[in-house]
Amino acid sequence: MAADSSFDVTSKIDRMDLDNAINQAILVIDTRFDFKNTGSKIELEGEKILIEADTEERAKAALDVVKGTCAKMN
C-alpha cells in the first residue's frame, strides 16, 4: 500500500521572515544581560548567517537565540 502513495516535502524560506527573525535575534543579543560587553554579534550575509562571539559557548548561545527566533516566526 505504501508504494501506491507518495508525497514530497519541500520547504522554502521566506526571506522577509528570515530577515525579521535575524533582526529579532540581534535585538535579543544586544539587550540580554549575559551578552552585554561580550562582542557577540549576528549578521545575515546573503544566504549565510554569521555569528561571532568571544567564546565557543557564547557562540552556541547566540545560535540558540537565532534558532529560537526562527522557530517563533513560523
pLDDT digit string, tens, across residues 55-66: 999 999 999 999
> The domain 14-73: what is its CATH number?
3.30.70.990
Strands 48-52 and 41-45: antiparallel
Q: Output the pLDDT for position 74.
A: 61
**Can you give the pTM of this predicted structure?**
0.77
pLDDT digits (tens, 9 = 90+) for 3-23: 677 777 777 888 898 999 999
Closest to 30 in 3D by CA, of 73, 2, 69, 56: 69
